[in-house]
């Protein structure tokens, strides 16, 4: 029989995929991979500030991730080159986060857990936060689905339909920041973007409609979680990286399936 911590880890990972699946689809469609990476890197600064001010890690991470996402959106809207802005902010936020973390001995010892995740240490309270945040993101995606999809396909068409593309981008920004905040303890700051992108990219090889891709991304993410946890238990490897490695293997398999189709 599985231990309680393994059950909690599986439930946390599967709950997280409810958010990363549909959100990851938009990240892939909009080519926002580096945007997700920058927001995730900023999470380490949020962790350090949370320790410094005695806040919940989830609150501190959400605040910094949201601030990073809004800053990037604002600067890119003023004509700055997106890749340059993201490169500067991503590496700067990670560097400042690591420097800030060095001032707190407890955080310095556990820093690898925040960088690479520790899904096996998820508590019942963490599980409630993960599922609450994931369901909130999923609800936002379902509510704004048609508007997000239209704005992603063609912003001029979205405006002609009475939609505001900036509002849709803001919805994605909020969803991304919340996803980063709730997933920091599970897969860590360095692997969040991978869990957003790889399952969605895998589903893209097989899906024929946007909705099928989003649902497929959830399924691929959940399968990666289960396979990664089993591999971690079998081979005594880190759980977070094992989950991402399993997702990468599924992506390679999907390429083979598509070639045969």
5 — pLDDT class (breaks 50, 70, 90): confident
Average pLDDT, the chain: 86
pLDDT, one tens digit per residue, over 35-93 is: 777 888 888 888 888 888 888 888 888 888 888 877 776 766 555 566 777 778 888 88
Closest among 203, 210, 255, 204 to 224, alpha carbons compared: 203
pLDDT in tens, 237-247: 999 899 999 99
Give the HSE-up count for residue 138: Cα atoms under 13 Å, Cβ half-sphere. Answer: 19
Helix (H) or strand (E) holding 184: helix 165-187
pLDDT of residue 260: 62
Give the number of C-alpha atoms closer than 13 A to the C-alpha of residue 6, restricted to the C-beta side.
Answer: 12
pLDDT tens digits, residue range 101-153? 888 766 655 677 788 888 988 999 999 999 999 999 999 999 999 999 998 88
Record: fold of 4-189: ABC transporter involved in vitamin B12 uptake, BtuC (1.10.3470)
How many angstroms separate the CA atoms of 79 and 88, rounded?
Answer: 15
The sign one gets for the Cα dihedral 138, 144, 149, 152 is negative
Q: SS in 3 state form for 91-105?
A: HHHHHHHHHHHCCCH
Q: Where are the domains of the chain?
A: 4-189
């Amino acid at each position: 029989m599985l231990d309680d911590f393994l059950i909690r880890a599986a439930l946390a990972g599967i709950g997280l995929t409810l958010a990363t699946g549909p959100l990851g689809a938009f990240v892939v469609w909009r080519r926002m991979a580096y945007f997700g990476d920058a927001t995730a890197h900023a999470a380490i600064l949020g962790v350090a500030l949370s320790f410094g001010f005695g806040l919940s890690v989830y609150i501190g991470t959400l605040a910094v991730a949201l601030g990073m996402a809004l800053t990037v959106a604002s600067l890119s809207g003023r004509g700055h080159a997106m890749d340059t802005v993201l490169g500067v902010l991503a590496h700067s936020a990670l560097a400042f986060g690591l420097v800030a973390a060095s001032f707190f001995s407890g955080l310095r010892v556990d820093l690898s857990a925040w960088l690479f995740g520790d899904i096996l240490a998820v508590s019942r309270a963490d599980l409630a936060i993960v599922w609450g945040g994931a369901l909130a993101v999923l609800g936002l995606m379902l509510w704004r689905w048609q508007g997000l999809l239209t704005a992603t396909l063609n912003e001029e068409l979205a405006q002609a339909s009475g939609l505001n593309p900036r509002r849709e981008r803001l919805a994605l920004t909020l969803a991304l920041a919340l996803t980063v905040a709730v997933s920091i303890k599970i897969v860590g700051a360095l692997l969040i973007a991978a869990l957003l992108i790889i399952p969605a990219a895998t589903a893209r090889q097989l899906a024929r409609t946007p909705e099928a891709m989003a649902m497929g991304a959830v399924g691929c993410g959940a399968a990666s979680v289960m396979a990664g946890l089993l591999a971690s238990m079998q081979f005594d490897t880190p759980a977070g990286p094992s989950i991402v490695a399993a997702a990468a293997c599924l992506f390679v398999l999907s390429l083979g399936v598509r070639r045969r189709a």
